[in-house]
Amino acid sequence: MKKEKLAISSRSTGRITLSDVAEHAGVSPITVSRALKNPLQVSEKLKEKIAISVKVLGYIPNHAARSLASSESKVITVIFPSLSNAVFPDVLDGLHDTLVSAGYRILLANTHYSSEQEETLVKTMLEQNPDGIIVTGIDQTQNTRELLKLSNTPVVQIMELDQNPIDMNVGLSHFDASYDLTNYLYSLGYKKIGFIGARMDLRSRRRMEGYQKSVLDQNGNEYVLSSLKNTSFKQGSELFVELISKHSDIDAIAFSNDDLAAGALLEATRRGMRIPEDIAIAGFNDLHFSEELIPPLTTVSIPRYEMGKQAAECLLYKIANKKQPICNQINIGYSIVPRQST
């Protein structure tokens, strides 16, 4: 076990390097490099020798050096507003599964729903020289958009559809989805339909606008209540109480999110209201629990895992084929899920 023979350089980290492996195997460093990255270019004999040396020495490639020499980082940056919102973990799963099996790593950051934090994060993340970037939504600051464009890194905006994408875009129209849902409620015979939203990020606002458009189309009245707090069961229950005490004749409510809807549904039950006879309730996102509520919740389903997967695939395709992206924009769609709460 000859070891500590180096210490010649004051800067050496002591970690086993490619050269150490090369020396051990009696070949040149570049051969080791090739054995690891382009095995076809190296003879079987040497590959075996090298494989043994790698094992014996416990060699671990240094990613920074590789990245510096090849200007490929094998890192994809993913920027989400938050993970508490159950929507994102599912999207992330889709991204993760696709990217990891293609040999990429995910650098994750949360903006906490702040465009300013997003800008800072994008700046920091760009230092990593990521091979690709995923950002959430389409309301990046002008600065962020420019940074991203100048960086020349493939970018996918997810969740929404951008009229003028930074680069690539995989999402759906939250306006249309909510418009359709509200129309569906009208078609069921409800007359006074309310809307309750929380957090009111751009996607929630679009959902509200879709609702408003539908109300307008039907010559109905708007009953809107929104809060800037995060969505939660509790928040849904509170807003629900507030809205029905103001407008006791409302017969249906669309919520910007299943969390809110579920909270309201439980609150209504607690108060002895019958659903949907006394009040109909609809959500958005089709979270895992929504089908299990009593009664099961009418909502809008969006293909979250699939969206992550497709976004990852777009990125991988563009990385591989520097030229044309396979997609500029993918509308991943949505579907209204009618259940017994309406």
Partner DNA sequence: CTGTTAGCGCGTTCAC
Partner DNA sequence: GTGAACGCGCTAACAG
Query: Is residue 311 a contact partner of residue 133, using CB atoms and an 8 Å limit?
Result: no
Q: How many residues sit close enough to a second copy to count as binding (CB under 8 A)?
A: 55
Least separation, in Å, of the C-beta of 290 and a second copy?
Answer: 9
State in angstroms the smallest separation of the CB of 173 from a second copy: 26
- Our finding on whether 83 is near a second copy (CB under 8 A) is yes
Applying the rule CB under 8 A, the residues between 178 and 237 that interact with a second copy are 232-234, 237
Task: Give the alpha-carbon dihedral of 261, 267, 269, 272, to 10 degrees.
Answer: -140
Is 124 a binding residue for DNA by CB under 7 A? The answer is no
Rank residues 36 and 300 by Cβ distance to a second copy and give the closer one: 36
Residue 92 contacts which entry, a second copy, DNA, none (Cβ below 5-8 A, type-dependent)? a second copy
Q: How far apart are CA 169 and CA 158, in angstroms?
A: 6
Bridge-based pairing of strands 280-282 and 75-80 is unpaired
Angle in degrees, CA 335, 336, 338, rounded to 5: 140
Site string for DNA, 263-302 (x = CB under 7 A): ----------------------------------------
Does the protein bind DNA through residue 41 (CB under 7 A)? Answer: yes
User: Is position 37 an interface residue for DNA (rule: CB under 7 A)?
Assistant: yes
Amino acid at 3: K
Show the CA angle centred on residue 283, arms to residues 277 and 288, nearest 5°: 115
Q: Exactly one of 73, 212, 256, 299 binds a second copy (CB under 8 A); which one? A: 73
Nearest to 114 by CA among 89, 141, 133: 141
Show the binding pattern over residues 257-286: x = contacts a second copy (CB under 8 A), - = does not: --x--xx--x--xx----------------
Q: Report the nearest approach of DNA to the CB of residue 260 (Å).
A: 46
List Cα–Cα distances, 321 to 76, 88, 146, 169, in angstroms: 16, 28, 23, 17
Instruction: Please list, residue by residue across 143-181, b when 16 or more beta carbons sit within 10 angstroms of its beta carbon and e when fewer do.
Output: ebbebbeebebbbbbbbbbbeebbbbbbbbbbbbbbbbb
Work out the angle at residue 32's Cα, subtended by the Cα atoms of residues 28 and 37, and round it to the nearest 5 degrees.
Answer: 145
Of the candidates 7, 40, 64, 320, which one interacts with a second copy according to CB under 8 A? 64
Distance CA 322, CA 315 (A): 10
Binding residue for a second copy, selected from 293, 297, 311, 314, defined by CB under 8 A: 293
In 100-180, beta strands by DSSP E: 105-110, 132-136, 155-160, 168-172
If the CB atoms of residues 152 and 248 are measured against a second copy, the closer one turns out to be: 152
User: Which of 46, 51, 57, 107 contacts a second copy by CB under 8 A?
Assistant: 107
**270 contacts which partner out of a second copy, DNA, none, CB within 5 to 8 A by kind?**
a second copy
Residues contributing to the site for DNA (CB under 7 A): 9-13, 15, 17-19, 27-31, 33-34, 36-37, 40-43, 45-46, 61-62, 65-66, 68-71
